[in-house]
């Protein structure tokens, strides 16, 4: 049976739709395992590469600023492309762009061309934002009470690659040296292969396209209006819950990126080597994604509001622990960065569910893309100022500011919930 026939059956037959949902999750999971490997390069050695080439840690946050700005642009483009052509094309081309950017980073580092490095990091950001946007692909055919769980399945798949990647920085650095390349460019070799592989998987296998099927189902059933009476927002087809969900994810992104970006530099000041940096960042990224299966079930079971508030509190705790940790205490740094990942995980899944609940197929991908632009810009701001704050004050100050930033969305969530402005969907 070809993709067109499968799509037609899924539109009319709930059992065929459920089968297609499971198949979609499998394909997206495969792409996310690969995409997770690509994330490690920018997160783990991006700041180290810039510090080495520029000769100052003051600009250590610049790589994060650049690839998150690139992520913002690509999130906008992928969202628009998905709205017109479906998830397969949007996500597939987004990953491909990220892979090309990773190759360009290696070439720029080899030629010691700092301006080419900046441009390449910007393009590399397309892979990081596409990896994050893929979480929405799992929700297109999911029922409302299963959306957070579907998001979590996609996110947990990122864990294997995202945790393995930082712990490969030492051997990848050795490989780069053997190839006559700068040591810090090694992880970007892996990113290039991983992002390009993820793009190929989606472009070839994601047929029929889950979003296009969901769009047809909505058209056939006249399901083009958000159901909850409290979901009305200033844009037609976009409920207020989408804005609240965006606020939750923006605040958590600032918190997470600001603290995470400068942790490798802070550890370097206190004598920690590549192995310790890889361990801390690997566990942090694992905490960002591994709890997802449990988190998704909790968001669907106990509601979006509770988990968003809990996530903000965990982010604050992470910042306090990081600020109080002696620089030579590997255990406390691990604790702080694991809490940082868990808090981000809670807020991202709860915020994503709020966005999906408050949108319809007629507006969903472009709204999701626009929100991910805001998330990327928030990460760019967090990464961009993190080096300046650390150089001007201290890592402890940066950590406290990051923790408070993660808490800022909590009053917004509670206010909107009390005013009846959002759907707090949960299982009966």
CA-to-CA distance for 319 and 328, rounded, in angstroms? 17
Euclidean distance between CA atoms 66 and 376, whole angstroms:
10
Q: Has residue 305 been placed in a domain? A: yes
pLDDT at 339 (0 to 100): 96
Residue 426 lies in a domain: no
| 326 belongs to a structural domain | yes
- What is the predicted pLDDT for the residue at 224? 43
Q: pLDDT > 70: what percent of the chain?
A: 91
- Asked if residue 189 belongs to a domain, the reply is yes
* 3-state secondary structure (DSSP) of residue 360: coil
- What is the extent of the structural domain holding 130? 3-418
Tell me if 424 is assigned to some domain. Answer: no
Per-residue pLDDT band at 230 (split at 50, 70, 90): very low
pLDDT bucket at 59, cuts 50 / 70 / 90: low
Rg of the chain over CA atoms, in angstroms? 20
Are 360 and 223 in contact by the 8 Å Cβ rule? The answer is yes
The rounded distance, in Å, linking the Cα atoms of 141 and 235 is: 23
- How many whole angstroms separate alpha carbon 62 and alpha carbon 52? 12
Q: How many CB atoms lie within 10 A of CB 325?
A: 21
In this prediction, residue 414 carries a pLDDT of 93
* Over residues 50-72, mean pLDDT: 73
Report if residue 142 sits inside a domain: yes
Residue 99 lies in a domain: yes
H helices of 303-427, in order, are 304-324, 330-357, 364-392, 395-407, 409-418
Give the CATH number for residue 377.
Answer: 1.20.1250.20
Average the pLDDT over each of 59-63, 270-274, 326-330 and give the range with the smallest value.
Answer: 59-63
The pLDDT tens digits for 173-195 are 888 889 888 887 888 888 899 99
CA–CA dist 240, 402 (Å, integer): 26
The rounded distance, in Å, linking the Cα atoms of 241 and 392 is: 38
Q: What integer pLDDT is reported at residue 229 of this predicted model?
A: 37
Furthest-apart CA atoms within the chain: distance in Å? 63
Beta bridge partners of 235: 238
Please, which pLDDT band fits residue 227 given cuts at 50, 70 and 90? very low
pTM: 0.79
Taking all residues of the chain, what is their mean pLDDT, rounded to a whole number?
84
Which has the minimum average pLDDT: 48-62, 93-107, 116-130? 48-62
What is the reported pLDDT for 226?
Answer: 40
Domain for residue 427, yes or no? no
Contact status, residue 350 vs residue 292, Cβ threshold 8 Å: no
Residue 54 CA to residue 317 CA, distance in Å, equals 33
Q: How far is it, in rounded angstroms, from Cα 393 to Cα 210?
A: 48
Q: pLDDT band at 228, cuts 50/70/90?
A: very low
Segment (H or E) for 34 = helix 14-54
Split into its structural domains, the chain has a count of 1
Burial level of 224, CB count in 10 A (0-12/13-18/19+)? Answer: middle
């Amino acid at each position: 049976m070809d993709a067109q026939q499968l799509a037609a059956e899924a539109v009319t037959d709930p059992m065929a739709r459920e089968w297609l949902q499971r198949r979609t999750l499998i394909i997206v999971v495969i792409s996310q395992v690969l995409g997770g490997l690509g994330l490690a390069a920018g997160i783990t050695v991006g700041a180290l590469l810039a510090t080495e080439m520029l000769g100052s840690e003051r600009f250590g946050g610049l790589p994060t600023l650049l690839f998150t700005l690139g992520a913002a642009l690509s999130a906008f483009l992928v969202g628009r492309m998905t709205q017109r052509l479906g998830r397969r094309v949007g996500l597939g081309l987004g990953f491909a762009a990220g892979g090309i950017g990773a190759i360009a980073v290696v070439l720029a580092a080899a030629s010691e061309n700092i301006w080419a490095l900046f441009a390449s990091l910007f393009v590399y950001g397309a892979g990081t934002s596409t990896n994050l946007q893929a979480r929405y692909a799992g929700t297109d055919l999911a029922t409302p009470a299963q959306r957070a769980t579907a998001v979590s399945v996609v996110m947990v798949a990122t864990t294997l690659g995202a945790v393995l990647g930082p712990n490969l920085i030492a051997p990848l650095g050795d490989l780069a040296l053997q190839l006559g390349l700068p040591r810090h460019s090694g992880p970007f070799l892996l990113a290039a292969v991983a992002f390009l592989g993820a793009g190929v998987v989606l472009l070839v296998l994601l047929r029929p396209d889950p979003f296009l099927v969901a769009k047809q189902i909505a058209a056939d059933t006249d399901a083009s209006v958000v159901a909850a009476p409290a979901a009305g927002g200033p844009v037609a087809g976009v409920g207020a819950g989408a804005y609240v969900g965006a606020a939750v994810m923006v605040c958590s992104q600032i918190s997470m990126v600001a603290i995470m970006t400068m942790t490798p530099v802070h550890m370097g000041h206190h004598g920690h080597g590549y192995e310790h940096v890889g361990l801390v960042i690997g566990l942090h990224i694992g905490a960002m994604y591994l709890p997802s299966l449990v988190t998704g079930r909790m968001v669907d079971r106990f509601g979006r509001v509770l988990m968003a508030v809990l996530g903000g509190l965990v982010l604050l705790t992470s910042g306090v622990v990081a600020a109080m940790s002696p620089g030579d205490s590997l255990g406390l740094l691990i604790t702080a960065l694991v809490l940082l990942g868990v808090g981000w995980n809670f807020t991202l899944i709860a915020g994503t569910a709020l966005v999906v609940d408050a949108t319809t197929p007629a507006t969903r991908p472009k709204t999701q893309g626009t929100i991910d632009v805001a998330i990327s810009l928030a990460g760019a701001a967090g990464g961009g100022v993190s080096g300046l704050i650390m150089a001007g004050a201290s890592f402890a100050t940066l950590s406290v500011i990051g923790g408070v930033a993660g808490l800022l969305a909590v009053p917004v969530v509670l206010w909107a919930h009390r005013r009846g402005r959002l759907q707090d969907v949960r299982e009966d």
